[in-house]
Chains A and B, each alone.
Chain A
Amino acid sequence: MKRSKLTHSLLSLAITLVLSPLVLSQSVQARTTAITGGKVVIGDGSDPVDGGTVIIRDGNVIAAGANIAVPAGADVVDATGKWVTPGIFAGFSRLGLSEVDAVSGTNDTSASGSNFNAGLDIAPAIDPFRTAFAVNRAAGVTRAVVAPDAGGNMFAGQGAIADLGSDANPVTKASAFQFVEFGEGGARRAGGSRSASHLTFRAMLREAQDYSVGKVAFDDQLLRAEDAKALLPVLRGQTQLLVHVEGANDILRVMELKRDFPALKLVLVGASEGWRVADKIAAAGVPVIASALNDLPEAFEKLGATQSNIGRMKNAGVKVAIGMIDDRDAHQLRYSVQYAGNLVSLGNVPRASGLSWNDAFAAITSGPAEIMGMGAQLGSLKPGRKADVVIWDGDPLELSSEAETVYIDGVRQPLDNRQARLRERYRTPTEGALPKAYDR
């Protein structure tokens, strides 16, 4: 049995030098890694297991939990005193779409000048070399739902599932969903009224249907062919439709779209007033990716916003996860753990509804994976899942804790980033023998 320390200095150096992914996969994935002795969190809502073991091979989790034998020849990583969990899955984000938000050339979140809408595909815009990848990876974020932002049309386009690995291939699944704005944002884009957004939605789906049957009368007033092609799998229920909606009435009216389009696979995004109609959301079986801590009436569609929203929906039987909805969504996915921790603390506030620790952690790991239909591949340490594993120096939801070691697809990740380099340069702010510019 080979032993290796947590500080795999040679390996991380090799990764830092950005060897080709092929070389990495040969050198790393052929091995078996056993992370032993830590408090293991599976991420599915079950209780943490003290002194557990996680076995990784070929980029996948082979086993995790108590009483698991370490295979002969495995690299053993001692995590005694640490927490071992699935990586954080940002339930909704704009990861990799923006380097500096206010520098337009670096910001690909929305294509407001484009004539296309639903056909827009965010995948090629997800740039793994943007700083937010490295910064959030260092904080234990390993996967993300990446959505385009809507430009001039209520349909924003096709979103993706991405990983934060230090390689050139960030997209786990392209065309994973279609994203559409309803509520105030949808109404504004459709012409100034919710009547327009609902009609536009219906008309666009019908045009897509016409396109699919080759109708000569296909009227491309609303849709170009590429947009129609992207809407067909939505219409047929092959691709999920993520709908940004906040207010109680808007939620109900959006769920009614299924009367006319029964195959739609809806996911509500935002849903600040979801708690007001939680029983109906639960009855409809529509999952929700919600903001964790919205509690202000920042718009009239959020008058009832409360931090208890997620807890109340969960109690009503809604499948719910935490997302960064229009909330520092390109840069601060690392807030996910803090948000989850705040929902735990709500449990101590009279009349509030929070989440248990186990459910809160699931809301930022298996929850998003399951809602996106990828729970069998991602989001937990159950056997067969992609080995996105983080070793933390303490409770991952606690503010003082740090991600010490991060694996994505079983590959140990470099955790260096631009912020860490600036920190080291200015550890002592005054100049030494040469200007700071020489200090590297």
Chain B
Amino acid sequence: MQIKGFRWAALVLPLGVMACAASDGTKTKTASALPAKVETKTTAAKVEAPFASTYKAYPGVPTVIKNVTIFDGEGGRVDNGTVFFKDGKVSAVGGPMRDAELPAEATIIDGTGKFVSPGIIDVHSHLGVYASPAVEANSDGNEATSPTTPEVWAEHSVWPQDPGFSRALTNGGITSLQILPGSANLMGGRSVTLKNVYARTVQGMKFPGAPYGFKMACGENPKRVYGSKGRIPSTRMGNLAVNRQTWIKAQEYRKKRDSGKEFSRDIGMETLAGVLDGDILVHNHCYRADEMAQVLDMAKEFGYKVTAFHHAVESYKIGDLLKANDVCSAVWADWWGFKLEAYDAIPENAALLQKAGACVIIHSDDENQIQRLNQEAAKAMADGRRMGIDISEAEAMRWLTYNPAKAMGIEKMTGSLKAGKMADIVLWNGNPFSVYSRPAMVWIDGALLYDAADPARRPVSDFELGQPGEGDVK
């Protein structure tokens, strides 16, 4: 049975889809291909970040949206409100203004009957690393050759022409997203945070100033992938053992790094040391409540913080523990039953977490549902209401904007409609918590990058150029 959109996070790992040597028999050059002067030994405590972002905001015009309902992304709602943005930044958000008060320089959009929200942010995406078409040649999300591959970086797999980015923008209002490696490995590698703006290079999409994330995975996937190869881990206790051994090495590396003496660079250890420094945020795929509790203890043992548990279908069983540890849960509204560790999933997971005061994020892990995160939040909110947990729409919007921004360490720059923040904005043609609403316009850093009414403001990736349906409404 094929389940659409399930990559590694969810289900069966086809062992044949392993990253392996090129099938055409060519050998890749390794050391000899390196430039002559790469420093592999250093005394520098921290190495300057390579592969720097070259993203530049596209030009926009000063814009006012008036007579519109505003969800500010931090729990606020303004009816009949006004949003003004210019130079890529939010200038003002507030109540009704008389036309005479509106800035003369601005393009005025009448938002009557429409809604404005911050750009939607997906904390868990594999766009680019498991790009469409989902053929083996595009299967770049899991370096499933060792249970710990902290040395890999998702950005080195991201294909910036994935058609999925355009669907996420036009149907989902996605303006920023974190691309994670898959969950075959206990330690899957670094994530990368992108602006959802097509570019010729991945560097051109990288969110400037976003910290790195680090993907870890609990449970079934790592033990199945490696156990089936006769390697550790083949059990959950093996999972923890390999993790702990690796953290000990990371602590030793960090000590060496900070000693001021010459040491050999190790890019995997650099990432792990970055986690221990608190510079790289841990995003841990973990379904079961008991396993999350063990991961929290492991994090205490080695002195790092788990920023968010992803999938986290059993978070509702330990909302108190998650709140006490200040850990977000990035969840689906209602996925269940695809694997045993997802057996106890319930649709009230998000609402119960909200009630417990814990941080909730609605995530996709899916190239289709990333186009409807607003609807997933609407379902989760409605399921909460039915059990007596009354969550306002304005509060639920936080699950899609501010909370994922916080978990990605970009909440000071985006994720809510506050003066001075990036003008990452969605104008919805109706209430975004209704099935009948769609994005009408999407701005990223104040640049209009989608306009439902303008075919020229609909991105078409290289892959789709000259193909059937090029530029179609998708």
A and B: bona fide binding partners: yes
Closest CB of chain B to A3's CB: distance in Å? 26
Cβ-defined contact, A102 with B11, below 8 A: yes
Closest to A430 in B: B320
Is A440 at the interface (CB under 8 A from chain B)?
A: no
Contacting residues, chain A, for B320 (C-beta < 8 A): 429-430
Q: Report yes or no: B4 in contact with A423, Cβ–Cβ below 8 A.
A: no
Alpha-carbon gap, A330 to B339, bound state (A): 12
A429 & B436 in contact (Cβ 8 Å cutoff): no
- Taking a contact as CB atoms under 8 Å apart, the answer to whether A132 and B337 are in contact is yes
Cβ of A101 and Cβ of B435 under 8 Å apart? no
- Residues B438 and A304 in contact, CB atoms below 8 Å apart: no
- For chain B, residues 391 to 448, give those with C-beta under 8 angstroms from any C-beta of chain A: 429-430, 433-438
Query: Of residues 320 to 373 in A, which have CB atoms within 8 Å of B's CB atoms?
Result: 326-332, 334, 338, 341-342, 344-346, 348-352
Choose among B375, B453, B469 the residue with the greatest number of A CB atoms under 10 Å from its CB: B469
Shortest distance in angstroms between B442's beta carbon and chain A's nearest beta carbon?
Answer: 13
In the complex, B473 has a CB within 8 A of chain A: yes
B155 to chain A, nearest CB (A): 22
In the complex the two chains form, is B12's CB within 8 Å of A342's CB? Answer: no
Which chain B residue shows the least CB distance to A425? B317
Query: Does A426 contact B337, Cβ atoms closer than 8 Å?
Result: no
A402 pairs with B386, CB closer than 8 A: yes
Minimal Cβ-Cβ distance residue in A for B473? A352
Distance of A420 Cα from B317 Cα, bound (Å): 14
Separation in Å of the A193 CB from the closest CB of chain B?
A: 17
Contact call A341/B436, Cβ cutoff below 8 A: yes
- Contact A344:B378 (CB < 8 A) given known A94-B1, A296-B368, A305-B469: no
Q: Tell whether, in the assembled complex, residue A344 and residue B472 are in contact, meaning their CB atoms are under 8 Å apart.
A: no
Q: Please determine whether B133 and A300 come into contact, CB atoms closer than 8 angstroms.
A: yes
Chain A residues in 8 Å Cβ range of B438:
345-346, 348-349
State whether A303 touches B167 (Cβ < 8 A): no
Interface residues of B in 339-361 (CB under 8 A from A): 339-340, 343-348, 352, 356
Let me know if B346 and A422 touch, CB within 8 A.
Answer: yes
Q: How far is the CB of A32 from chain B (nearest CB, A)?
A: 31
A13 in contact (CB, < 8 A): no
Bound complex: CA A294 to CA B381 (Å): 25
* B336 lies within 8 A of A349 (CB): no
Q: Is B77 an interface residue (CB 8 A)?
A: no
Identify B1's interface contact among A98, A346, A429, CB under 8 A: A98
Partner of A248, one of B1, B336, B429, B468: B468
Give CA–CA (A302, B463) in the complex, Å.
Answer: 13
Say whether B198 faces chain A, with CB atoms less than 8 Å apart.
no
Output the nearest chain A residue to B337 by Cβ-Cβ distance.
A331
Question: If the complex has contacts A100-B343, A295-B171, A399-B382, are A304 and B318 also in contact, measured as CB distance less than 8 A?
Answer: no
A contact residues around B363 at 8 Å (CB): none
Task: Determine the chain A residues whose CB is within 8 A of the CB of B135 once the complex forms.
Answer: 299-300
Query: B134 to A342, Cβ gap below 8 A?
Result: no
- A101 x B469 contact (CB < 8 A): no
**Interchain CB contact under 8 A, A402 and B348:** no
Do most interface residues of chain B lie in helix, strand or loop, or is the interface mixed?
Answer: loop
Interface status of A117 (Cβ within 8 A of chain B): no
In the complex, chain B residues whose CB is within 8 Å of the CB of A423: 316, 346, 348, 352, 387
Q: Which of A149, A328, A399, A420 contacts B433 (CB 8 A)?
A: A399
A98 engages B452 (CB within 8 Å)? no
Count of residues in A whose CB is under 8 Å from the partner chain? 65
Determine, out of A59-67, A103-111, A207-215, the stretch whose residues face the partner at the interface.
A103-111
Chain B residue contacts of A276, Cβ below 8 A: 468-469
Contacts of B455 in A (CB 8 A): 351
Contacts of B463 in A (CB 8 A): 297
Segment 265-312 of A: residues with Cβ below 8 Å from B: 273, 276, 293-300, 302-308
B220: chain A residues within 8 A (beta carbon): 102
Residues of B within 8 A of A399 (CB): 375, 378-379, 382, 433-435
Contact A342 B464 (CB under 8 A): no
Asked if A100 contacts B338 (CB within 8 A), the reply is yes
B348 touches A101 (CB 8 A): no
Using CB atoms, name the residue of chain A closest to B336: A331
Contact indicator B132/A298 (Cβ below 8 Å): yes
B side interface size, CB within 8 A:
66
B3 at the interface (CB under 8 A from A): yes
- A47 part of interface (Cβ distance < 8 Å): no
B319 located at the interface, meaning its Cβ lies under 8 Å from any Cβ of chain A in the complex: yes
B435, A429: Cβ atoms under 8 Å? no
Residues of chain B with a CB closer than 8 A to A341's CB: 435-436
Q: Does A327 contact B3, Cβ atoms closer than 8 Å?
A: yes
A107 vs B336: C-alpha distance in the bound complex, in angstroms? 15
Which of B164, B348, B385, B430 has most A Cβ within 10 Å?
A: B348
Determine whether the beta carbon of A131 is less than 8 Å from that of B337. Answer: yes
A299, A303, A429: residue with the most chain B Cβ atoms closer than 10 Å: A429
Assess whether A351 is in contact with B11, with CB atoms less than 8 Å apart. Answer: no
Q: Tell me, yes or no, whether A114 is within 8 Å of chain B by CB.
A: no
Q: Is the Cβ of B435 less than 8 Å from the Cβ of A342?
A: yes
A100/B1 in contact, CB under 8 A: no
A297 pairs with B133, CB closer than 8 A:
yes
Task: Indicate which residue in B387, B453, B464, B472 contacts A427 across the interface (CB closer than 8 Å).
Answer: B387
A419 interface contact, C-beta 8 A:
yes
In the complex, are the beta carbons of A100 and B4 less than 8 A apart? no
| Bound-state Cα–Cα, A101 to B167, Å | 28
Complex CA–CA separation, A326 to B469 (angstroms): 23
Chain B's nearest CB lies how many Å from the CB of A340?
9
Residues of B within 8 A of A107 (CB): 1
CB contacts (< 8 Å) of A330 on chain B: these are 1, 337
How far is it, in angstroms, between the C-alpha of A98 and the C-alpha of B318 when the chains are bound? 28
Asked whether A350 lies within 8 Å of B452 as measured between CB atoms, the reply is yes
A103 near B467 with CB under 8 A, answer no
B270 touches A (CB below 8 Å): no
* Complex interface: chain A residues within 8 A of B134 (CB): 298-299
Q: Is the CB–CB distance between A429 and B133 below 8 Å?
A: no
User: Considering the chains assembled together, what is the distance between the CA atoms of A98 and B11 in angstroms?
Assistant: 14
Alpha-carbon gap, A401 to B379, bound state (A): 9
C-alpha gap A330/B1 in the complex (Å): 9
Partner of A429 from B171, B316, B375, B430 at Cβ < 8 Å: B316
B150 on interface, CB distance cutoff 8 Å: no
Residues of A within 8 A of B (CB): 94, 98-103, 107, 109-110, 131-132, 135, 149, 248, 273, 276, 293-300, 302-308, 326-332, 334, 338, 341-342, 344-346, 348-352, 397-402, 419-420, 422-423, 426-427, 429-430
Given contact pairs A101-B12, A349-B473, enumerate 7 new A-B contacts (beta carbons under 8 Å). A296-B167, A298-B134, A300-B133, A330-B337, A350-B452, A351-B473, A423-B316
Interface residue ranges, B against A (CB under 8 Å): 1-4, 11-12, 132-135, 163-164, 167, 171, 220, 316-320, 334-340, 343-348, 352, 356, 367-368, 371-372, 375, 378-379, 381-382, 385-387, 429-430, 433-438, 452-453, 455, 463-464, 467-469, 472-474
7 A-B pairs closest in CB distance:
A341-B435, A304-B468, A304-B469, A102-B339, A399-B378, A109-B1, A352-B473
13 pairs of residues in contact across A and B, judged by CB atoms under 8 Å = A94-B1, A294-B4, A295-B371, A297-B132, A300-B133, A306-B473, A328-B335, A399-B433, A399-B435, A400-B385, A422-B346, A426-B317, A429-B318
